[in-house]
Structure 1
Amino acid sequence: MNEEKLNIEILELIAASLANEISIENKKKLDLWISESPLNNNVYNDYVNTWELFNKTEITSEINIDDEWEIFKKSAKINEGKIVKFKFASLLKYAASIIIIATISITVYFILNNNKQTEIIAQSQVIVNTLPDGSTISLNSNSKFSYPKVFNKLQRKVKLTGEAFFEVTHNSERPFIIEAGKVLIEDIGTSFYVRYIADENKTEVIVKTGKVAVYKSNNPEQKTYLEAGEHGVFSSTKTNIIKLPENNENYIAWKTHKLDFENENLQNVIKVLERTYNKKIIYSPSISNCKLTVSFKEQSLDAVLNVLKATLNLNIVQKQNYIEISGTGC
């Protein structure tokens, strides 16, 4: 049975249940569907609540039962010459439940479909994608991003594991929210970078333009605001968010292909190179504190390594899955 037919059958079972006209066999089918997931249970409860509200509403004398019955007969193509086995009251109740189902089934359809997620996985290269609202995400290698095919009316919530750069189409009535581990990042008209690696037990947010609000998923009232040029670090083992200044854009070198180092320790340079070029680099402790001042633009990893080798008198060996750097120290 395809998904569309299944949804129609479930709606019919719910309608029969609300009208107390459901068979024992169909009741078992409905109960099984409800127990399959929390979403199914929530959808069923929404129908029940709507039906209970309908039953509490007084039917006024403006409704002519005879006229309504004639309309129902014509629409249902009932032949007067045939015996109708439904009791009239039950039939009206069942018909009413069908009407209730029909009026909110579109909403339920969108609830079910909005729950469907599109997942993007960047393995060895950067992926740039435009979201349904016009926002753009640049996803670095070894990262995963998911979002609903259709954003709901209240918010645009997405999920990130890894690192990405966002250029968000701002909409104050439908905030753009990124879930990165235990941290939520809410756009307030901006472009910004997010890095969340589960093994590192921290989430980093760097704002390039505009402003963002960062807060813990279980404490949305306690927000930390970051503005352009600020770097926020949230540790999963601590409650506070550390704010730091951000003086260069090496954090998005994997996107811009621009690197700028000024009197930087070589160990920090290597970390940036690993994330920029998606290559594991092993280095000897003796060279970790060597200082480097240099800039690169649209350069290959080989070109960058050749400059490091010549500048710091290093030994660089290309292995199959990694690069090994050594030297006498500085």
Structure 2
Amino acid sequence: MKKRNKYKEIEDFLADESFRLWMKSKNDVAGWEDWTLDHPNRAKLVEEARLWLLAMKVPENNLSQEQLDNALQNTWLKIEHKEQNRKMEHKLVQLWNTGWFRNIAAILIFSLLSFYVYTNYFTAASTDFYNEQILAHTDEEGLLEQINNSNKPQIINLSDGSSVLLQPKSKLSYPKVFMGNERKVYLSGEAFFEISKNPGKPFFVHANEIVTKVVGTSFRIKAYNNDSDVEVLVRTGKVKVNSEKNDNNTSNQKEIVLLPNQALRFERRNQTFKKITDITSDQSIHNSVRSIEQLSFDFTDIPVSQIFKTIEQAYSVEIDYPKEELEKCHLTTSLNDQPLPEKLKIICKSIGNNSSYTMNGNQITILSKGCN
């Protein structure tokens, strides 16, 4: 059991006889199902290994062993040429040197699954840095992971009251409860953060090769693994950005401070920062500004229905509320610097009459009997 806690690669699982037995016969004598539930951050690796083992069931053909070996060799050479990543090449060589794996890969190739093979390994390589960050900075077993595989943003409410708007094809790892004197999360992809204020417990976002430090503010980070740049854009408050290397005290380069409507572009190839003090002067960043980053949350005698529409537009959520009871309700309030849960609390408190809200994913329900 302890041995599998060290598994970090797909081939580690494929080489484990008890894992193969579990996947092929569903005979879980080694307790793999419970182990997977206790280690959610390994679930993706388990799933990828499962897909490989399922591919073994493809019927064999009548080709000779020499033909299989030649075709397999040519396919791997093409894959290695496209990848151009030393770590990826090392993983491919390890797999190639495993005898039983050659036969499985040959079946996949002649079953028109070679493209699937390449896609899965390219994806696995692109997440290496994300996983390395988690391993380097925290106990990965204590983190939850949210992956947005939908076509619309998803809301994540953190234990400290902060909220994250996670964009499609993105994932966020975060603790169920923030412990100690720091709050740390790990991003791969794009997300808009609204951080609850706590000067004694700064908030850190690790994204690719940079780390962003805040106390209480709102900002967006775009850090897809396959993009050449990482971008940070500040809406409210102040953030401090540094490279992971500098954060680990291996360099004396000063951190970069960003204020509202300022941005930063980190070029991953050259490991250089470019601070952008006027986002309208940078066409790429200016065009990427989303609704939540440009809508105003300052309301002066505005109907509650209009406030709800603004929130729906900004966060891609749906709000169900008693329209007749709140038809004549108007509010004057500023919600610019609060996470979404805090915005909803302030609105409900302003409406009065024991108004409250519930939130299930991107669906919000307002309970109220009308204004005070």
Give the TM-score taking structure 2 as reference length: 0.37
Q: Kindly name which structure, 1 or 2, has the bigger radius of gyration based on alpha carbons.
A: 1
Give the TM-score taking structure 1 as reference length: 0.42
Structure holding more strand per residue: 1
